[in-house]
Structure 1
Amino acid sequence: MLARRLRALREEEWPEVTITQSDLAQVLSAEKPASVPLLSSWESRTTPKTPPPHRLAAYATFFATRRSVENRPFRLIPPDELTPDEAGRRDELLRELMDLRAAAGQRESGASPAQDHADRGSWYFHDRHDITIVVAQLPADMRAKMPYSDPSRPDYVELYTYADLDALIELHGHIRAVNPRSQVNFRIASELAPDDYTTHLVLLGGVDWNLVTRELLDRVDLPVTQVARHHESEAGGFVVRTPSGEERLYAPKLARHGDHEVLLEDVAHFYRGTNPFNHKRTVTICNGQYGRGTLGVVRALTDGRFRDRNAEYLERRFPDHDSYSVLTRVVVVNGQVVTPDWNLPGSRLSEWPEGRS
C-alpha cells in the first residue's frame, strides 16, 4: 500500500504534470543522493522496499505544494518556506505515509494489530481520533512574577503562562510521535471548547488549578480523591478509601533546607478510563501533588528506559479493565525526577481496582 501510494503521488497528484522517477530522484538528491533504481524499488508492485522516514518527509514536503513543479528542474521547497496551508498539507501527508510505513513493517514482521498496539505503548490510540491534552494556567499572581507572561509585552510567550510545562512538552511530543494519523492539541482548561470534551482527553495537573481534572474526578467512580494545597505550607495529598470504608492519606515528603522546604518525594496519580462525555473515547489523568509528581507519572510511560516495562505491568495487572488507577511515589533528587518503575512494589502506593498484583 505504501508503494502504491508513492506511485500514485508521482503519477496522479498533478495529472497535468509529468513527473518521472528520474525527476523525483533529482529532487530528492538535494538532501541525499537518490537514483532511479532506488525510487523504482520503493514503487515496486511485486517486491517493494520501505523508504526511511527522512525520505517520506521529503515526499510530503514536495507534494505539499504545487510550487514544487512550477518550473523545471523541479525543486524541494524548504519546510520553513511553506505557507500555513501547505505546512498543514505536509503534516497530513507525512502522517499518512508514516502510518503506511508502520503497517508495512507490521506485515513484514508478521505482527498482529494487538501486537502493534503493544509496541506503540500506552499512549497509542488505535482509533486515530483527536487527542486533547488539557493543562492549567498559572494563577494571575504567579504570572505577574514571571518574565514574558504579559500579553501586552513584545516578548510575550504564551507557554510561560502554563502550569506543568515540562510535563506538557514531554507528553505532547511523545503522543504525536506514536499517533501520526491523529490530531493532537493542547488547551488551557478554562478555554476548552465543547467539542474538545468528546475527544480522547489527557489531563495534566490536579484539582488546585486544573478545573477539568476536578470536574472529571467528580464524574467517575474512583476511590481516590485529592486534598488541595491551600498555600505553600500545606502539602496536601491523596486520600484512598478502602472497601471497608477506611481512608488513608498519602502525602509528599518535604525537608527544611535553610529558609525553604525542598521536595524529596511526591505522590502522583495515573488514571485511565472511559470519557464520561463520550463513551467511545478515553480520559487519562496524570496528576501530581506538585509539578514534579505530574512529570514523574508522565515519564513512567514515556521514558525510553521504563515505558515498556510499565506498560507491560498495566497490561498484566489490569487485563480486563476499562478503568484503572495507580497511585505512585515519585522520588526527587536535587530537583530532578526519578522515573518510577511500577514493577517494584515500593513505587506503587495504591491501585484500583484491587486484586492480584
Structure 2
Amino acid sequence: MSQPNPALAARLRTLRKESWSDVVLTQKQLAEAFGVSTGLLSSWENVAKPVTPPQPRLEAYATFFSTRRSVQGRKLHLLDLEELTDDEHTVRKELLAELQALRGDLDDPPAQPVFAPSSLWHFPPNQDIVIVCAQLPEKYRIAYTDPASPDYVNLYTYADPDALLELYGHIRACNPANEVTFRTTDQNTTLSADEYTAHLVLLGGVDWNPQTRALLDRVDVPVRQISRKGDEEQRETGFEVTRPDGTTELFSAKLRDGALIEDVAHFYHGVSPLNRKRTVTVCNGMYGRGTLGAVRALTDRRFRDRNQAYLDQRFAGADSFSIISRVPVFDNQGLTPDWTLPENRLHEWPESSHP
C-alpha cells in the first residue's frame, strides 16, 4: 500500500490545465465548481506535499472532465450523472479508474475518530494535544496584559478564556498520560512543526484565530465562516453552508436590541490534514458564547453523554464530521446545546442519506 501519490497530484493538475487547450481553468474556478476552498484543491495538486482527495472528489473530477459541457455557459458547473451522454459516461468511467489506480490504497489508516460515549476527547496515550486559542486584539486588552506590569496575567491575552479553561481541564482529566498544552495564535511566535502535527484543537473563529481559517481551508467540509466585522453587519455574517446541489444557506446569531439571544456554534472533528495519524477539532461560534457552547456540548456532564451517543449513532464510520447548532442564550448566559433535539441541529455533514 502507498502514501499520498505525487503522480495523482500531477495528473489532477494536468487535467485542470490541459484538458481543453482553449480554456484557462484556475484553481479558484474549479474549487468553486466543486464547492471546496481554493486551498484544499491546491493541496490536491501539490506534487511536493500531496494531499489525497477522498473518493467522492475523485468522482467529481471524473465527472467534470468527462465533458466539455462542464465549462460551457456563464458559470462552471458539475453535471449530474443523469445528464451525461453514453460517450461521456464511458470517458468518466475510464478517467475514474485511472485516478483510483493512482490513488491506490493508503498506507497506515488515518486516525479514525472513535464514536463511543465519552471518547471524543480521549486520545491514545503519549500523543501530544495542543489547544490553539485566538489572541485577544490589543485594543481589547487591559493593563494586566502588559508583560512589564507587576499585575501581568498571561491568560488575559486569550480571546476565549472560559472555553479554554473548560476544555483544557476536561482534556487533561481524560488523558493523564498525554502532554496537553495551550497557546495563542501570536503572530510573533508561530506554531512549531511538532505543534502543527499533534492533535490540534482550535478555539474561536476566523475573526481572531487565523489557524481556524487555515485548517478549515484544507479539509473537505462545506462550511465557511463569514467574518463578523461589526454588529451592524450581523445579518450578513454567520456560517455559510454549501449544499450538494450547489445552493448555499447562511446560519447567523440572533440579537435583540443589541443583546445576544441566540448564538450559532460550529463543531468539526476529523483527520488532521497535517498529519493523518492525528486529528483536528474546531470549536467555534459567531460570539464567545457560541464557542463555549461548542466546547460544553461534549464536556458538560449533564449533556455530554447524550450528545456523544448521538454522534456515535449519526456519524458512525465517518472519518470526519461537522455539526452547526443553536446555542441558546438566557439571561446573558450561553447554555449547552442538546444535539439530540432536531431543532437545535441547523446543519450536519456528511449529509444524512435519510430525509
TM-score, with length taken from structure 2: 0.65
Aligned AA (2:196): Y
1:128/1:118 Cα in 2 relative to 1: closer, same or farther (>3 Å)?
A: farther
Show the counterpart of 1:38: none
Distance 1:304 1:356, change over 3 A: farther
Gaps of 5+ in 1: 1-115
Report the alpha carbon displacement of residue 149 of structure 1 after superposing the two structures with TM: 1.4
Amino acid at match of 1:132: V
2:159 is matched with which residue: 147, 156, 163? 163
What is aligned with 1:86? none
1:67-106 paired onto structure 2 within 5 Å: none
What CA distance in whole angstroms lies between the structure 1 residues aligned with 2:117 and 2:324?
24
Tell whether 2:122 aligns with 1:124. yes
1:133-148 mapped onto 2 (5 Å cutoff): 133-143=131-141, 146-148=142-144
Structure 1 runs of 4+ aligned residues shifted over 3 Å read 116-120
CA shift for structure 1 position 189: 1.7
1:325 equivalent in structure 2: 322
Spell out, residue by residue over 1:70-126, the C-alpha distance to the aligned partner (whole angstroms, 9 max, x if none): xxxxxxxxxxxxxxxxxxxxxxxxxxxxxxxxxxxxxxxxxxxxxx98354321112
Taking a change above 3 Å as real, the CA distance of residues 120 and 242 of structure 1, as seen in their structure-2 partners, is closer
Q: Distance in 2 between matches of 1:183 and 1:117?
A: 22
- Superposition TM-score, scaled by structure 1 size: 0.64
1:223, distance to aligned residue in structure 2 (A): 0.5
Larger radius of gyration: 1
Contact 2:307 2:340 in 1 (8 A): yes
CA RMSD of aligned residues (A): 1.7
Confirm whether residue 181 of structure 1 aligns to residue 177 of structure 2: yes
Aligned residues between the structures = 237
> 1:234 deviation in Å?
2.5
Identity of aligned residues (%): 58
Which letter maps to 1:176?
Answer: R
Corresponding residue for residue 201 of structure 1: 200
Distance 1:294 1:117 in 2: 22
* CA shift in 2, pair 1:127/1:181, >3 Å: closer
- Aligned twin of 2:218: 219
**Of the candidates 263, 267, 292, which is equivalent to residue 266 of structure 1?**
263
Q: Give the distance between the partners of 1:168 and 1:242, measured in 2 at CA.
A: 32
The aligned residue for residue 339 of structure 2 is 342
Give the partner amino acid of 1:232.
Answer: D
Higher relative contact order (CA 8 A, sep 6+): 2
Q: 1:301 aligns with which of 290, 298, 302?
A: 298
Is contact 1:213-1:285 (8 Å) kept? yes
1: CA distance, partners of 2:278 / 2:126: 11
How far 1:151 moved relative to its partner? 1.3
Q: Deviations over 1:221-273 (max 9, x none)?
A: 110000001123222200000001000010000010xxxx1100001100001
